[in-house]
Amino acid sequence: MKYLIAANWKMHKTVAETLEYLEIFLPSVKDLFAVDIMIAPPFTALASASIKLDAAKKEGEYNVFLGAQNMFYAEKGAYTGEISPLMLNELNVDYVIVGHSERRQIFGEKDNLINNKVFSAIEHGIRPILCVGETLEEREQGITLKVVENQIRKGLAGLGADIQFVDIAYEPVWAIGTGKNATPEQAEEVHRFIRSLINELSKGNDDKTRILYGGSVKPENARDLIKQPNINGFLVGSASLDPKKFYQIITEVLEV
């Protein structure tokens, strides 16, 4: 299983800043195929990033994929402000982040909507990264695994064998953008549980589903986290905004 190191820029970087970032970052990962790398810029920069990546791949060997931070499940319609899978297809988007805690917490996205997005992404050849995780209050109540199980069962409901086309990102909500992070042991406990749950939902596909950790990942903690047997990569937030820091995280993974 090839690990995935994914960058989620959230609401950061203009088109110009995106192109500047790629100018710095891409040369450092040329001919690097030991891991998959994904970058998810904001929607306004997707087209420019797509053109830049396509041009780079014509000149050299790159294993960098383009991701979107969200999408709606319908192909078209009266959905003001939304982005359809067809629009992402046109830009050669490979991945889409679905159900991020900020979408759940701030924008009120529910599991049935997230499930529809997962189905639509797979149908249109885009690999979804389904985000799950508990709040600080839920962890203190001791219901972390119950919360994660509920989100996964509802988010993947009805997929069957197509679960093999989904990656999972465990992101403890209390560790996102706070500087805090789960210990490697805490993360591994949840990742191990998720793997067993995937095997239950679609037997044999647990080794095809990468389970990423997302929660204040940075160069300083990447090595200890990636050593855990059920952590198959990262969904990196703020640290991915700096191309040098993001590359350092990738380097830590490669060295382990």
pLDDT digits (tens, 9 = 90+) for 135-167: 989 998 999 999 999 999 999 999 999 999 999
What pLDDT, on a 0 to 100 scale, did the predictor assign at position 72? 98
- CATH fold of 4-255: TIM Barrel (3.20.20)
What pLDDT, on a 0 to 100 scale, did the predictor assign at position 178? 67
CA 47/CA 44 separation, integer angstroms: 7
Number of Cβ atoms within 10 Å of the Cβ of 81: 5
CA 149, chain centre distance (Å): 18
What pLDDT, on a 0 to 100 scale, did the predictor assign at position 179? 64
pTM: 0.96
Show me where the domains of the chain are located.
Answer: 4-255
Residues taking part in catalysis: 100, 171
What pLDDT, on a 0 to 100 scale, did the predictor assign at position 214? 94
What pLDDT, on a 0 to 100 scale, did the predictor assign at position 182? 83
Q: Single out the residue of 69, 54, 71, 168 nearest to residue 114, CA to CA.
A: 71
Q: Single out the residue of 237, 235, 164, 223 nearest to residue 198, CA to CA.
A: 164
Alpha helices in the chain (DSSP H): 15-25, 43-59, 85-90, 101-105, 111-123, 136-140, 144-155, 184-201, 219-226, 243-255
What pLDDT, on a 0 to 100 scale, did the predictor assign at position 176? 74
pLDDT digits (tens, 9 = 90+) for 220-245: 999 999 999 999 999 999 999 999 99
What pLDDT, on a 0 to 100 scale, did the predictor assign at position 251? 97
The stretches in the chain having pLDDT less than 50 are none
Burial of 76 (0-12, 13-18, 19+ CB in 10 A): exposed
What pLDDT, on a 0 to 100 scale, did the predictor assign at position 208? 82
